[in-house]
């Protein structure tokens, strides 16, 4: 096959991986079956906070098919190092050990207390019923605000407090802006609001699963994880295993959204149990188990004060957060609110800013990264408070935003947080969105409905957002005490027949890496798209990597691929000159060919690959391969942005909300594959809208999750969603050679405030100033009744 002259980057190619993913002809972790494999099932506590008085496993040990039953004492789990947290955000952060199995006390409903090993998954599940556990109730801590008060019951008595950490950023102290207290004191207008970010379940398609084979010289772990490289290192450190004797494989993974970013007690337990029984083992959670015991997302109380002059110029922003960590700390959980700290100022030119976050322990499953990780929470708060300020000033909310945002000619722009936004054009994205949305026409219709006193009122919601993507700069992460770097690795192998293997440390779980990376390499090397294979997710083949999260894959991992490709071309050049009997200075490389300027003499890079393999006539000192690798560690984040506009119709008699129109115009920099971008945007929009309207993990007064199945927890279908009108503007990022910015989280970040702003806007004239998420018909109706009573 020969490469075409048309560039691959920018082409809307169907994804290579879809044929196997959509038809199920793939290898999920739970599909893996090994000779002699045993199955694990975990006995989980129904109590949120209780002492363990006794665990009787005698009956379970006699059940059919049962090989063994282990408690914490049997596994020596009580003395082992706990599941790791890699982000100690302050030197005095409280970090309780999370055991593989609880020994003396359980701290959330769903915590494991015993594990059954059996010949089949069904027999392991059956044996759980025969395990008898005696508990003694302890006071349950659920209210994160109350948990901070003196004398309140403690989740972890040994810590002496429910406070995990207090993290503060002050622009006055940091030298990046003024003092926010002075700004608020001197302001002509101040607005203070409290917003609630409810607890969410990531609800990925494929439940968590792990298979461990201890029978070979190298112990192999297959896991449905986003982070195979990090999992390998952390497993070695946590369990004291020699890292060179450990291999981790993330096969095809059915979604993650941050929910598979942890190093799980179940993964560690599977390794320990496999070593004890000397046979391969598998653990695959049930869906209800996933809802109950996997990590959750969001769960914050946000107190926001904004100050401004009467003309609408903002002068200060003060943010006080309380964030629920749950009973333990996730791998990056404490740092999730801190990621948001740098985005509360959003696209606006705040001269003074202060952010303070208190992380709190409660008797619930832990929280950790969930699509957007801190940035959706920040965007929601600032976009809601901008609407509230507009009402206080009597301004159109779009006009207020336009007055305060960074103008396109002001880039690069250093924000009040000290970040440098490299590029953007908020005016262009907004103008296009307003045109597609018919903003002025909908405002007129809204007024007409109000004048008529219609039962169904029209609301218009705005979200003009930005986010920091390409979570990477190692020095920045180090300054925030993050426990790893942010670089990414790639390698390219030129095979003798001219085909290409690309190895990437960024491991996909639905993002389309195999297609996008093939497009990039096709353009860089001039090799046909079909001749390129992308390998990922196996630490034995892709030996280095920092994995996939934070919309970093393309901006960081894709750039590493480009750099590796450039090295391949550079290695091929002297061979081409030797073959063509010319100076290297006389060569040009384009479309996969080295040609001699001013002549028709040329040789393809694929021909060079075969020549190098044969090694019959190579330049002196040339190794017989063109393979190359590269590591990329960017100096800055990338900053996609956009404008999302939502029109809702709200029935004031029933509280029912219907999205009539949704328009988004995003700027994600250079687009490698428009089809993949559209898919990411649509998926992100669904998750953000779902937070606004449908989803919430609800616990009763005993700490029991009351909606732990898909029958009770509303994950929307296509029937629940409107049709989206999407478009893009493009300003290339200057922080990476591809000019890309990231798109995986954009829709989720922007859509939630757009929807809630639209709902509140529809009901503002009825005295409604806030509807707590999710904005169910009941909550909307109650807000209308309470607003009318004021």
Of the candidates 276, 262, 223, the residue with the CA atom closest to the CA atom of residue 80: 276
Strand 189-200 vs strand 163-170: parallel, antiparallel, or unpaired?
A: unpaired
Contacts of 20 (CB under 8 A, 6+ apart): 26, 252
Q: Are 455 and 522 a contacting pair, CB within 8 Å? A: no
pLDDT, tens digit, for every residue of 635-664? 999 999 999 999 999 999 999 999 999 999
DSSP 766: G
Cα(687)–Cα(540) distance, integer angstroms: 34
Q: Are 223 and 338 a contacting pair, CB within 8 Å? A: no
SS3 per residue for 588-631: EEECCEEEECCCCCEEEHHHHHHHHHHCCCCCCCCCCCCCEEEE
Cα(17)–Cα(186) distance, integer angstroms: 58
Q: Using CB atoms within 10 A of its CB, is residue 241 exposed (0-12), middle (13-18) or buried (19+)?
A: middle
Q: Are 774 and 696 a contacting pair, CB within 8 Å? A: yes
Q: Are 83 and 268 a contacting pair, CB within 8 Å? A: yes
Cα(736)–Cα(738) distance, integer angstroms: 6
Cα(295)–Cα(297) distance, integer angstroms: 7
DSSP 715: -
Q: What is the pLDDT of residue 377?
A: 98
**To 10 degrees, the CA torsion angle through 285, 291, 294, 300?**
170
**Cβ atoms within 10 Å of 330's Cβ, excluding its own:** 28
Instruction: Please report which residue ranges of 480-540 form alpha helices under DSSP H.
Output: 513-525
Strand 132-137 vs strand 50-56: parallel, antiparallel, or unpaired?
A: antiparallel
What percentage of the chain's residues is helix, strand, coil (to nearest 5)? Answer: 35, 25, 40
Q: Are 393 and 310 a contacting pair, CB within 8 Å? A: yes
* Pair of tokens at residue 661: 């129109």
Q: What is the pLDDT of residue 82?
A: 80
**Block means of pLDDT (10 residues each) for the chain, length 790 residues?**
76 94 90 97 98 98 98 76 90 95 96 98 98 98 98 97 98 97 98 98 96 96 97 95 97 95 95 97 96 97 98 98 98 96 98 98 98 96 98 98 98 97 98 98 97 97 96 91 95 98 95 97 98 97 95 96 98 97 96 96 97 95 96 96 98 98 98 97 97 98 97 94 97 96 95 98 97 98 84
Q: Are 634 and 494 a contacting pair, CB within 8 Å? A: no
DSSP 367: B
pLDDT, tens digit, for every residue of 260-297? 999 999 999 999 999 999 999 999 999 999 999 999 99
Q: What is the pLDDT of residue 296?
A: 98
pTM above 0.95, yes or no: yes
Contacts of 24 (CB under 8 A, 6+ apart): none
Strand 353-361 vs strand 314-326: parallel, antiparallel, or unpaired?
A: parallel
Cα(469)–Cα(458) distance, integer angstroms: 34
Query: 3 by DSSP, 3-state: which?
Result: coil
Q: How many CA atoms lie within 13 A of 731 on its CB side?
A: 23
**For tokens 């000033």, what's the residue?**
393
């Amino acid at each position: 096959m020969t490469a075409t002259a048309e560039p691959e980057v920018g082409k809307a190619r169907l994804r290579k991986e879809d044929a196997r993913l959509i038809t199920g002809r793939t290898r999920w972790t739970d599909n893996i079956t090994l000779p002699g494999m045993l199955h694990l099932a975990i006995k989980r506590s129904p109590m949120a906070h209780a002492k363990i008085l006794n665990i009787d496993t005698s009956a379970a040990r006699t059940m059919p098919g049962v090989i063994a039953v282990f408690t914490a004492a049997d596994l020596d789990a009580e003395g082992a190092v706990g599941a790791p947290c890699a982000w100690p955000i302050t030197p005095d952060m409280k970090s309780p050990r999370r055991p593989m199995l609880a020994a003396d006390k359980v701290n959330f409903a769903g915590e494991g207390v015993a594990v059954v090993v059996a010949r089949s998954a069904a027999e392991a599940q059956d044996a759980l019923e025969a395990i008898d556990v005696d508990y003694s109730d302890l006071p349950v801590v659920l209210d994160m605000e109350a948990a901070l008060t003196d004398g309140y019951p403690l989740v972890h008595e040994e810590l002496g407090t429910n406070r995990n950490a207090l993290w503060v950023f002050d622009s006055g102290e940091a030298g990046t802006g003024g003092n926010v207290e002075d700004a608020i004191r001197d302001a002509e207008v101040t607005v203070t609001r409290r917003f609630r970010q409810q607890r969410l379940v990531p609800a990925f398609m494929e439940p968590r699963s792990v298979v461990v084979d201890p029978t070979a010289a190298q112990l192999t772990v297959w896991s449905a994880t986003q982070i195979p490289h990090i999992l390998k290192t952390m497993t070695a450190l946590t369990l004291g295993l020699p890292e060179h004797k450990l291999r981790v494989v993330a096969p095809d993974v059915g979604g993650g959204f941050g929910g598979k970013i942890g190093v799980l007690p179940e993964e560690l337990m599977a390794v320990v149990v496999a070593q004890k029984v000397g046979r391969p083992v598998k653990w695959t959670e049930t869906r209800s188990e996933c809802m109950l015991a996997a990590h959750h997302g969001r769960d914050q109380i946000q107190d926001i004060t904004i100050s401004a002059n009467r003309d609408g110029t903002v002068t200060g922003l003060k943010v006080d957060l309380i964030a629920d960590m749950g009973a333990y700390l996730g791998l990056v959980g404490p740092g999730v609110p801190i990621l948001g700290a740098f985005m509360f100022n959003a696209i606006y030119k705040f001269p003074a800013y202060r952010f303070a976050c208190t992380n709190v322990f409660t008797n619930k499953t832990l929280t950790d990264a969930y699509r957007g990780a801190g940035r959706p929470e920040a965007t929601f708060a600032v976009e809601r408070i901008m609407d509230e300020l507009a009402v206080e000033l009597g301004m159109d909310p779009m006009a207020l935003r336009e007055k305060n945002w960074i103008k396109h000619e002001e880039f690069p722009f250093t924000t009040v947080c000290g970040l440098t936004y490299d590029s953007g054009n908020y005016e262009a994205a907004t103008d296009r969105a307003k045109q597609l949305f018919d903003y002025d026409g909908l405002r007129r219709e809204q007024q007409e409905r109000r004048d008529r006193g219609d039962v169904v009122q029209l609301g218009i919601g705005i979200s003009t957002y930005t986010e920091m993507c390409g979570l990477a700069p190692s020095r920045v992460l180090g300054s925030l005490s993050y426990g790893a770097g942010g670089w990414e690795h790639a390698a390219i192998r030129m095979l003798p027949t001219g085909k290409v293997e690309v190895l990437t440390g960024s491991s996909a779980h639905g993002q389309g890496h195999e297609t996008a990376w093939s497009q990039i390499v096709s353009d860089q090397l001039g090799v046909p798209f079909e001749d390129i294979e992308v390998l990922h997710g196996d630490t034995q083949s892709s030996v280095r990597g920092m994995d996939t999260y934070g919309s970093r894959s393309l901006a960081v991992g894709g750039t590493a691929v480009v750099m590796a490709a450039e090295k391949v071309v550079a290695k091929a050049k002297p061979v081409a000159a030797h073959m063509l009997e010319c100076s290297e200075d006389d060569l040009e490389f384009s479309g996969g060919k080295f040609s001699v300027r001013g002549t028709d003499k040329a040789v393809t890079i694929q021909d060079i690959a075969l020549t190098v393999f044969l090694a019959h006539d190579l330049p002196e000192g040339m190794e017989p391969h063109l393979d190359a690798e590269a590591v990329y560690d960017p100096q800055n984040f990338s900053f996609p942005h956009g404008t999302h506009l939502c029109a809702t119709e709200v029935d004031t008699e029933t509280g029912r909300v219907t999205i009539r129109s949704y328009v988004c115009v995003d700027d994600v920099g250079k687009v490698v594959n428009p089809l993949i971008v559209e898919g990411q945007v649509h998926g992100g929009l669904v998750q953000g809208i779902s937070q606004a309207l449908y989803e919430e993990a609800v616990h009763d007064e005993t700490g029991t999750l009351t909606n732990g199945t898909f029958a009770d927890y509303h994950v929307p279908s296509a029937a629940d969603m409107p049709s989206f009108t999407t478009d893009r503007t493009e300003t290339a990022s200057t922080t990476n050679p591809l000019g890309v910015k990231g798109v995986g989280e954009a829709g989720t970040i922007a859509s939630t405030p757009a929807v809630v702003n639209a709902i509140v806007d529809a009901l503002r004239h009825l005295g409604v100033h806030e509807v707590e998420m999710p904005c169910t018909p009941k909550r909307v109706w109650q807000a209308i009744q309470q607003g009318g009573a004021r």
